[in-house]
Amino acid sequence: MRGAWHRFARERQAVVGLTAVAFILGGVIFGPFLVPHSPIAIEHAVLGYPQPPSWLHWLGTDLLGRDVLARALVGGRVSISVGITAMLIAIFFGTFYGAISGMAGGVIDALMMRIVDALFSFPTFFLIITVEALLNRFALGIIVLILGLLSWMSVARLVRAEVLSLREREFIEAARALGVPPLRMLVRHLIPNALAPVIVTATFSIGDNILAEAGLSYLGLGVQPPMPSWGNMLQDALLPAVRSAPWLVVTPGLLIVITLVAFALIGEGLRAAVDVK
């Protein structure tokens, strides 16, 4: 473990990524308390006319007179927590599914993998619309669940591949010979050793989820106003009326890019750390 941390710290870009993420997280967690404006209060006097950055509003205001900085910070909270939670759901479910499939082998494995294939083939967009319409609600939890459900399949595949190659290793043979029950073998031996690539994927999947949330919100199917998220700030910003207001367009987009780069740098660092070659 300590060896891994050293390898990680040696990758300069990974450290940069970690610092950046720390900065971003600090900003979105504590920032909203420091900004004097509300992210949801509208200003009747300037309805329809976004204001450029000024001393009063450091990043200007949007179409309804709301302070962009406040919205960006609170929106960051929403987008990032959506990204992380969805990732956790996907990792949890995908790991168990993939490990069981890999360990079981044979027909069960084939069946489980075919189900994964089937799910991969679905037009995800369609799935989202249907699920949201069925539930008729737009709670944040639903969106997180949907995003998690869309990404667990690749985790499952990955874990299964790892488990398949681990299965032939000596210590597993030994454990089997000793009569260790399958569930314990799964939890104690297989999964911890399969986790390495999973952690790397997890880091990248946070970014994927943030992007997915942005896409969903841009189409109006994600986080609903007045709660800001980087995705629905983009939706507001790309309205024809305000595309000429760069502070509206650039802010959420740039924040998304920077956050994703930061997480990706960490991910790459982790990959180098766990990949003993």
Residue 233 beta carbon to other proteins: minimum distance, rounded to whole angstroms: 11
Residue 89 beta carbon to other proteins: minimum distance, rounded to whole angstroms: 21
Task: Pick between residue 30 and residue 122 the one whose CB is nearest to other proteins.
Answer: 122
Residue 276 in the binding site for other proteins (CB under 8 A):
no
With CB under 8 A as the contact rule, which of the stretches 75-83, 84-92, 187-195, 249-257 interacts with other proteins? 249-257
Site string for other proteins, 115-154 (x = CB under 8 A): --xx-xxxxxxxx-xx-xxx-x-x----------------
Exposure letters 212-244 (e unless 16+ CB within 10 A, then b): bbbebbbeebbbeeeebbbbbbbbbbeeeebee
Among 4, 29, 140, 164, binds other proteins (CB under 8 A): 164
Among 51, 142, 225, 274, binds other proteins (CB under 8 A): 225
Residue 53 in the binding site for other proteins (CB under 8 A):
no
Task: Pick between residue 179 and residue 240 the one whose CB is nearest to other proteins.
Answer: 240
Task: Pick between residue 111 and residue 183 the one whose CB is nearest to other proteins.
Answer: 111
Task: Pick between residue 34 and residue 152 the one whose CB is nearest to other proteins.
Answer: 152
Residue 207 in the binding site for other proteins (CB under 8 A):
yes
Residue 184 beta carbon to other proteins: minimum distance, rounded to whole angstroms: 26
Size of the site for other proteins (CB under 8 A): 67
Residue 34 beta carbon to other proteins: minimum distance, rounded to whole angstroms: 23
Task: Pick between residue 186 and residue 216 the one whose CB is nearest to other proteins.
Answer: 216
Residue 274 in the binding site for other proteins (CB under 8 A):
no
Cα separation, 47 vs 6, in Å, equals: 54
Residue 261 in the binding site for other proteins (CB under 8 A):
yes
Nearest CA among 112, 96, 208 for reference residue 159: 96
* Cα 264 from chain centroid (whole Å): 11
Q: Residue 115's CB: how many other CB atoms inside 10 A?
A: 14
With CB under 8 A as the contact rule, which of the stretches 25-33, 44-52, 180-188, 194-202 interacts with other proteins? 44-52
